[in-house]
Structure 1
Amino acid sequence: MTQRDLTITRVFDAPRELVFRAWTEPERLASWLGPDKFAASGVTIDLRPGGAWRARIHSAEYDVERWMQGAYREISPPGRLVFTFSWDQPDDVVGETVVTITFTEVGDKTEMTFHQAPFPTEDERAGHQDGWSSTFEKLAHHLEEAR
């Protein structure tokens, strides 16, 4: 692991099957994807190795709209998910990264380890860390409501 890798580990008060579905069902993903003050829409998922995914996040408050996309590399329900991630915009400096998520049972909770790499700079990694950390707060709320 380098300073251009991002790893976030978080425990959710939900069974891992539910946490996995939150990442792989379009309507669930749309309900929490995006940092604070952002909403997601246009979520499409072709959940198979090589299948594409795409989503839009937008914020009226910040007057920002961004599309993200990628392809699935590995789908091992409910324990592991691997996919590529890139922003769909001409000025994107991050390029394609690979996201690997593992879901581990911890009693009746789930430990999620999120890893994304490589980032071109430490600043880009730090920006994604802030965004994902805020996004995972929304995921925690989604899982509370879904239980």
Structure 2
Amino acid sequence: MTDLDLTITRVLDAPRDLVFEVWTNPDHLAKWFGPTGFTAPSCTTRLVEGGAWRICIRSEEERVERWARGVYHEIRRPERLVFSFAWEEPDGGPGHDTLVTVVLADRDGKTEMTFHQAIFETVEDRDGHLDGWRSAFDDLFTYLEGSIR
């Protein structure tokens, strides 16, 4: 671990298979991905190793729209997902690429989710992602609690 890595661990009150599904199914992913206050009006995934994913997040209040994309590197249902993550630049090209690893461990019917993202260009960039992911994981928790049980 370095100052340019980010790790977040959360215990979710949902079975591991379901948590894996909400990370990989675009219909579910679009319901929670992005910081609180953002929607995800477009989300596509091709869930095979080497397959691409792309999502748009939008804040009507702030009049902001951002696109992110990446490629799946490892898919081990239901315990591990590894993919690249890059925000798109205004010209549509990829920005700085990071690698995301999501590890899901069964904890008596609940799921311990360990999220790791690296390597960021700056500590400020890492901290911005920390705030965004924490907020998104709050929305994920709420989504799992109420929307699909």
Does TM, scored on the shorter chain, surpass 0.5? yes
Distance in 2 (CA, whole Å) between partners of 1:50 and 1:43 is 17
The 4+ residue runs of structure 1 with deviation greater than 2 A are: 90-94
Unaligned runs of 5+ in 2: none
User: Which residue of 1 is the match for residue 11 of structure 2?
Assistant: 11
Q: CA deviation at 1:67?
A: 0.3
SS at match of 2:4: coil
> Are positions 1:109 and 2:110 aligned together?
yes
User: Which residue of 2 is the match for residue 82 of structure 1?
Assistant: 82
* 1:116-146 deviation line (CA, Å, top 9, x unaligned): 0000000000000000000000000111121
Q: CA deviation at 1:90?
A: 3.7
Unaligned runs of 5+ in 1: none
Distance in 1 (CA, whole Å) between partners of 2:89 and 2:42 is 16
- Contact 2:54 / 2:69 at 8 angstroms: preserved in 1? yes
User: Which residue of 1 is the match for residue 53 of structure 2?
Assistant: 53
User: What is the percentage of aligned positions where both structures have the same residue?
Assistant: 54
User: Which residue of 2 is the match for residue 120 of structure 1?
Assistant: 121
Distance in 2 (CA, whole Å) between partners of 1:100 and 1:93 is 19
- Partner letter of residue 103 of structure 1? L
Q: CA deviation at 1:93?
A: 9.8
Q: CA deviation at 1:108?
A: 1.2
- Contact 1:94 / 1:119 at 8 angstroms: preserved in 2? no
User: Which residue of 1 is the match for residue 68 of structure 2?
Assistant: 68
- Partner letter of residue 142 of structure 2? H
Aligned residues: 147
- Partner letter of residue 37 of structure 1? G
User: TM-score with structure 2 length normalisation?
Assistant: 0.95
User: TM-score with structure 1 length normalisation?
Assistant: 0.97
- Contact 1:94 / 1:124 at 8 angstroms: preserved in 2? no
Distance in 1 (CA, whole Å) between partners of 2:76 and 2:101 is 11
Moved more, 91-100 or 64-73: 91-100
Change beyond 3 A, Cα 1:98–1:114: same
Matches within 5 A, 1:38-49: 38-49=38-49
- Contact 1:47 / 1:72 at 8 angstroms: preserved in 2? yes
Distance in 1 (CA, whole Å) between partners of 2:21 and 2:132 is 21
Q: CA deviation at 1:94?
A: 6.0
